[in-house]
Amino acid sequence: MTDKSVINTFRRTENKYSLSIEQKEQFVMLAGDHIIEDFYFQYTVHNIYMDTADNAMIIHCLEKPEYKEKIRMRTYGAPEEHKPVFLEIKKKYHGITAKRRVALSLAEADEFIISGVLKGTGQIVSELNAAISLYHPVPKVFAAYDRLSYAGTIDSDLRITFDTNLRYRTECLNLNLSRHDRNMFSDEIVLMEIKAADRCPLWLTEVMRELKIRPSSFSKYGTIYQKDLKDKLSTHRHYRQEPSPAYAYSTERSVLHV
């Protein structure tokens, strides 16, 4: 298991918003000197979301419970031998998000995908293994998006990210982009996320109010799951004519089968 000297535990509030391109540009302009481009400013996030065989985790999340959790594998940029692959569990309770993750090599990540066994020692590995034993997660969805990341200049714990070009697939689940990836949205939508260890600063609240930006419960995995389910239902539904009973007068009744 690789040691990359990265932060592997997070505990913070994370609020999401759906913006137009124009709102995003206005936001950055009004934020002014309160934010600065993060050290890692522009990159593409590659994810594999994992779930139970019957999608129990995402179905539970979509019910908007007080407590929910997700398991995913992630790289920042295209996966390469020298880059870490993060396996993480993300938990949310009463609006507070806690994330625990371990850094794997690409070979270790591939081995985990195949075997479902996470090797290693330490507290975080133990927590992940407990979740793995409970859910027996398998890869379900690949999702990637292009991200711009800003940091607060005065509020050092503040991070603001803008995600665009969300694409996904539900087959051939590896961390690479593919020509088979499908776009999530037909229009230009920017997904903004504000991450802070404490409450949002006053200047940020004022900018949000001026631009009439409201919170959204948008979930990338949840939205993809719902869209894919809808597409599959649309593709596979068909009508079958039920035979008329011999004793009845002639009639036909179409029944929808999914």
Residue 2 lies in a domain: no
* 140 beta partners: none
Residue 190 lies in a domain: yes
For each successive 10 residues of the chain (258 residues), what is the average pLDDT? 55 89 96 96 97 96 92 96 94 89 95 92 94 96 97 92 96 93 88 88 95 90 93 68 40 30
First-to-final CA distance of the chain: 45
State the Cα–Cα distance between residues 75 and 77, nearest whole angstrom.
6
State the Cα–Cα distance between residues 185 and 172, nearest whole angstrom.
21
Residue 3 lies in a domain: no
Residue 114 lies in a domain: yes
pLDDT at 242: 45
Residue 220 lies in a domain: yes
Residue 59 lies in a domain: yes
Q: Which domain holds residue 112?
A: 9-257
pLDDT at 240: 43
The CATH number of residue 140's host domain is 3.20.100.30
Residue 1 lies in a domain: no
pLDDT at 251: 32
pLDDT at 225: 95
**Residue 99 CB contacts under 8 Å (≥ 6 apart), including other chains:** 9, 10, 11, 88, 89, 90, 91
Task: Give residue-wise pLDDT tens across range 227-253.
Answer: 999 888 887 664 444 444 443 333 333
State the Cα–Cα distance between residues 206 and 156, nearest whole angstrom.
19
pLDDT at 5: 46
pTM: 0.84
State the Cα–Cα distance between residues 168 and 182, nearest whole angstrom.
5
**Residue 38 CB contacts under 8 Å (≥ 6 apart), including other chains:** 149, 150, 151, 159
pLDDT at 246: 42
Q: ∠40-119-75 over CA atoms, to 5°?
A: 20
- The total number of structural domains that make up the chain: 1
Residue 127 lies in a domain: yes
